[in-house]
Amino acid sequence: MRPSGRSGDWAGVDVAVPRAAGRLPGTSMAGFRRHASVPWEIRMVAYPSVTLFVDLGEGETVVYDTHDRRGRGSVVVGLLPGDLRAAVWRVECLQIRLDPVAAAAVFGASPELSGEVVSLEDVWGRDAGRVEDRLRAAASWDERFTIARDIIGRRLDARPPVDPEVSYAWRRTLAGRGRVRIDGLADEVGWSRKRLWSRFRSQFGITPKRAAQLVRFDHAAHLLAAGHAAAGVAAESGYVDQSHLHREVKAFAGLTPTAVAAAPWLAIDDVAWPASSPAS
């Protein structure tokens, strides 16, 4: 059965995305259903959002490994998850991406979420199981998206927002695809470099410089996945040269640019997250 809303097929996976109406700021969602009976091995690639995977399959069908630690079921993946690998069988999964501003409100300004993979239960306690049960019982992906929007929306409203100066610095970093000067950002918000550095790190868990590097890497990774040559990607993304691109890609993904170009979650982005893919 095809999920409702706009959907597509990729490597045996059905993808559903919510309708544009009612989307929450800094939040995007997609639903995945895979029918194959053999494991699907995935190596995740760093992305400039905190990502929530809600495992809706029977028997915790998502297994993940990171930093020599293995886990199952629903997880929250921080901005810099390191060497994260997952294996999935027959699975239904809701993926929710939260930009750092939204994530700080939904999960709290928790530095561990900047570079860790933690179970949803560790973050939300008993609420995690109730959320999973509600989503599993839903009759359609549209209903699941509505439930998820309600849950995330209430958490967004319940916590104080991050400093507007920090939020502005993040938006400028994203708009500039990581090609921003931290001194310039500090001047724009009327803070010293030290104050911006400190407040940004305390609320997002990473420094402004590391955030800019992550955003630049993400742009480069999507260009590579779109088939652009590494030399051209390096120039367009603001790297000194192709060797610089290679070092940054290895640092963020543990892979070569060629391997990143073939990463499954980048290949599916045009379907599930079209706004994240650069124009070819």
89, 225: one domain: no
Q: Can you tell me the distance from the alpha carbon of 18 to that of 15, in angstroms, rounded to the nearest whole number?
A: 10
End residue of a domain, out of 158, 181, 196? 158
The first and second tokens of residue 225, run together, are: 């996945």
End residue of a domain, out of 158, 179, 197? 158
Q: Can you tell me the distance from the alpha carbon of 97 to that of 26, in angstroms, rounded to the nearest whole number?
A: 8
Q: What's the pLDDT at 19? A: 80
95, 186: one domain: no
Q: Is residue 76 part of a domain?
A: yes
264, 137: one domain: no
Identity of the residue numbered 223: L
Averaged pLDDT of the chain: 82
152, 177: one domain: no
State the pLDDT confidence band at 179, using cuts at 50, 70 and 90: very high
Q: What is the CA radius of gyration of the chain?
A: 18
Q: What's the pLDDT at 155? A: 87
State the pLDDT confidence band at 186, using cuts at 50, 70 and 90: very high
Structurally, the chain folds into a number of domains equal to 2
Compute CA distances 5 → 33, 57, 68, 259, whole Å: 14, 20, 38, 32
State the pLDDT confidence band at 1, using cuts at 50, 70 and 90: very low
Q: Is residue 115 part of a domain?
A: yes
- Identify the CATH number of the domain in which residue 194 sits: 1.10.10.60
28, 88: one domain: yes
Domain around 149:
6-158
Q: Is residue 221 part of a domain?
A: yes
- Identify the CATH number of the domain in which residue 147 sits: 2.60.120.10
| 32, 19 contact by CB (below 8 A) | no
79, 27: one domain: yes
Give residue-wise pLDDT tens across range 40-88. 666 677 889 898 889 887 765 666 666 666 667 788 888 876 666 666 6
206, 260: one domain: yes
153, 180: one domain: no
123, 187: one domain: no
Q: Can you tell me the distance from the alpha carbon of 119 to that of 128, in angstroms, rounded to the nearest whole number?
A: 9
What is the model's pTM?
0.85
Give residue-wise pLDDT tens across range 131-150. 999 999 999 999 999 999 99
Q: Can you tell me the distance from the alpha carbon of 115 to that of 77, in angstroms, rounded to the nearest whole number?
A: 8
Q: Is residue 1 part of a domain?
A: no
Q: What's the pLDDT at 138? A: 94
In a 3-state reduction of DSSP, which class is residue 2?
A: coil
